[in-house]
Amino acid sequence: MLLMLMVAVSFDYRVKQKMPELRLVSIGLIGLIAAWIPISFYFRVRRRVLTPLRDLRQKLQRACTDQPGRLRAPLVKDEIGELVVSYNQLAAELWTEREECRRYERERMLQSNLIALGLQADGLVHSAEKSLAEHGDKVDSGTRDAIQRDIDALKEALATGEKSAIEPKLEALTQSSMKLGEAMYKAQQ
């Protein structure tokens, strides 16, 4: 449109005297248009390309530090928009997998603690039975019966497999076994 105006003005005979002024104005307008095109292109590229890429870089850095987040929804459906959607899906999957891993780790730790407690209890039951069979005659029948009751109670607690049931019975058998050890020590002196 501006070009048409310039052509129409240049052919007008009456305006030939003002031609230098019109040329300056038209050169100024062309210069403004020439400057406006790259500036508008920059802002469009920035909004559609650079901002999602910057967000993606920040979210990927955050994902590496165990804080995945969601990107903003893509503005247009192009390759970058698809990349943002894919990243959102990946971040959600990673987050759920990390939570599952943490849950499995807690369960595994509880199971390993229970197994260790069970092994400790089995060892104590075995040593208490062996000591009671070898040195049971050196203690009175009340102590011997108390040790046997504690052994049976610990065996029952082991059969249930509950940590809250095993721990007090284990402590009780430990105390009873100490009484047998004291009796054995006194008999040796």
**pLDDT tens digits, 68-85:** 566 566 666 777 777 777
- In eight-state DSSP terms, residue 78 is S
Whether the CB-CB separation of 170 and 117 falls below 8 Å is answered with yes
- In eight-state DSSP terms, residue 14 is G
Whether the CB-CB separation of 91 and 70 falls below 8 Å is answered with yes
pLDDT band at 106 (very low <50, low <70, confident <90, very high): very high
pLDDT band at 3 (very low <50, low <70, confident <90, very high): low
- In eight-state DSSP terms, residue 66 is T
**Cα 91 from Cα 133, distance rounded (Å):** 62
Instruction: State the pLDDT at residue 27.
Output: 80
| Tokens describing residue 179 | 């009484």
Q: Which of residues 132 and 68 earns the better pLDDT score? A: 132
